[in-house]
Amino acid sequence: MTVAYWIVAALLAVFYLYAGGKKVAQSQEQLRPMMGWVDRVPMPAVRTIGALEVLGAAGLILPPLTGVAPWLAVASAIGLVLVQVGGIVVHLSRGEARLIGLNIGLLVAAGAAVWLGTGWL
């Protein structure tokens, strides 16, 4: 289970560092082609979501790696589940049901990280 956790956590961390970093660093115009929903969400909220994604990625890796408060990894994974639930809600509210495949995949992966992480706590 430990190896499976690290594989899932590493893949999620890479994705969320990239996606969250873009939300934190790029302008609304730069984000719009990849994330059409940024027109409906205020930029401070987009930046907050990005910061939460980056912190979630760090939380998946650093606590279990250092052995300091490893329960934070599970808390981070739960937070990323909630981010994806919010993403699905936004897409559905915009009539973009066909775009929620990635959100569902990330939701399942974060859920797996929660489950796998509880195995070594």
pLDDT values of the chain reduced to their tens digit, one per residue, 121 residues? 789 999 999 999 999 999 999 999 999 999 999 998 998 899 999 999 999 999 999 999 999 999 999 999 999 999 999 999 999 999 999 999 998 999 999 999 999 999 999 976 5
What single string gives the DSSP state of each residue in the chain? -HHHHHHHHHHHHHHHHHHHHHHHHS-HHHHTTT-GGGGTS-HHHHHHHHHHHHHHHHHHHHHHHHTSSTHHHHHHHHHHHHHHHHHHHHHHHTT-GGG-HHHHHHHHHHHHHHHHHHT--
